[in-house]
Amino acid sequence: MSAPAIRVSDEVQEAVRQGRPVVALESTIFTHGLPRPRNLEVALEAEESLRAQGVVPATIGVFAGRPTVGLSTEEITKLSEEDDVAKVSLRDLPVVSTLGLHGGTTVAATAFLAHRAGIKVFSTGGLGGVHHGAAQTFDESADMTTLAQTPVLVVSAGVKSILDVAATLERFETLNIPVLGFGTTKYPGFYVSDSGHEIAYSVSTPEEAAAVLTSRDALELPQAVLIANPVAEDKQLPPAELDAILARAWEQAEQAGISGNDTTPFLLDFIQRDTGGRSLEVNIAVYRGNVALGGRIAAALTR
Ligand code: PSU
Ligand code: MN
């Protein structure tokens, strides 16, 4: 008998079977999104903070070719320190599996693996979306089309303004993906609490978010539910600064000839350097908030 295509840790399997709260976490955030050594600290802190909430963390990635739900601390450490780690979206999963590579899974690949393991709630930092100029380049994240057919709940702080936020929200509408603000109808812009775009609905408690999920399942709809959780205003990047930073980031990406799945990591890295690390602190604050809210929603779902 060959090994199963997806490895699920004993702890996660048990928790899912017993209906205890579990939150999935992605790995691209620490393999490609955050610089060393903070990447590892943030990844481990996210797991610890969920455990402190009584929630089982399931960090998801590809270790030596094995798509894994519930990476061990050693595996997370290795993935965050290795140079040769692929950025793995859904289409890459069968390839890296076959080649035996390490991989950090994007929102798309993580959502898929979480769902296959029976996990309903997934916390991340920012979602992929429509890149500026996508009308010419066709650069749209597969996060969107994957979330259109993957029934999980994803907590994020919206999409970063490195993306075309308006176009991304239009795509969510086309793809039938509901977007709910947590305590707000202003769609957050990751580094800033308000992207300047309104969304139609908000929920104000974890119970309400969990109820939307239950309702989706009752209707047998296949789409993810997106919970958009803004960073606190006193922790955001000064909105007035952001536009200038973004203009420089896009210019640099163009000059360097960056394209394809290198674009997001390049822009994030540029912004981190350009702000002298201040965007990194915001990034981490945003992620902490999303992990905590995911934990509360997962707990509400089991009540
Ligand atoms: N947005 C962030 N930080 C990230 C990413 C997105 O604020 O690290 C990562 C996520 O893993 C997301 C992926 O799924 O980038 C999207 O990449 P692409 O645009 O190539 O689909
Ligand atoms: Mn892309």
Task: Output the domain CATH number for residue 96.
Answer: 3.40.1790.10
- Ligand 1 site, residue 134, Cβ cutoff 6 A: no
Please give the pLDDT value at position 211.
Answer: 98
Q: What does the alpha-carbon distance between residue 182 and residue 302 come to, in Å, rounded to a whole number?
A: 20
Contacts of 219 (CB under 8 A, 6+ apart): none
pLDDT for position 16: 98
Ligand 1 pocket test: pick from 30, 59, 124, 261 the residue with the most ligand atoms within 8 Å of its Cβ: 124
Distance, in Å, from the CA atom of 62 to the CA atom of 97, rounded to the nearest integer, reads 8
Average pLDDT rounded to a whole number, residues 253-280: 92
Contact 194, 188 (CB under 8 A): yes
- Greater confidence (1 vs 184) lies with 184
Distance from C-alpha of 15 to C-alpha of 10, rounded to nearest angstrom: 9
Model confidence pLDDT, tens digit, residues 57-100:
999 999 999 999 999 999 999 999 999 999 999 999 999 999 99
Between the CA of 126 and the centroid of ligand 1 the distance, in Å, is: 7
Residue 211 covered by a domain: yes
Q: What is the pLDDT of residue 1?
A: 55
Number of domains observed in the structure of the chain: 1
**Mean pLDDT across 120-135:** 96
Starting from the CA of residue 128, give the closest ligand. Answer: 1
Asked whether residue 246 is assigned to any structural domain, the reply reads no
Average of per-residue pLDDT values in the chain? 96
Do 118 and 70 meet the contact criterion of CB atoms below 8 Å apart? Answer: no
Q: Is-above-0.95 flag for pTM?
A: yes
Query: Minimal CA–CA distance to 123: which of 64, 49, 72, 62?
Result: 49
H or E stretch including 25?
strand 22-25
| Ligand nearest to the CA of residue 163, numbered in listed order | 1
- Structural domain for 72, as ranges: 7-233+291-301
ipTM: 0.97
For the segment 151-176, what is each residue's pLDDT rounded down to a tens digit? 999 999 999 888 999 999 999 999 99
Q: Does residue 258 form part of some domain?
A: no
The token duo for 181 is 């603000």
Residue 233 has pLDDT above 60, yes or no: yes
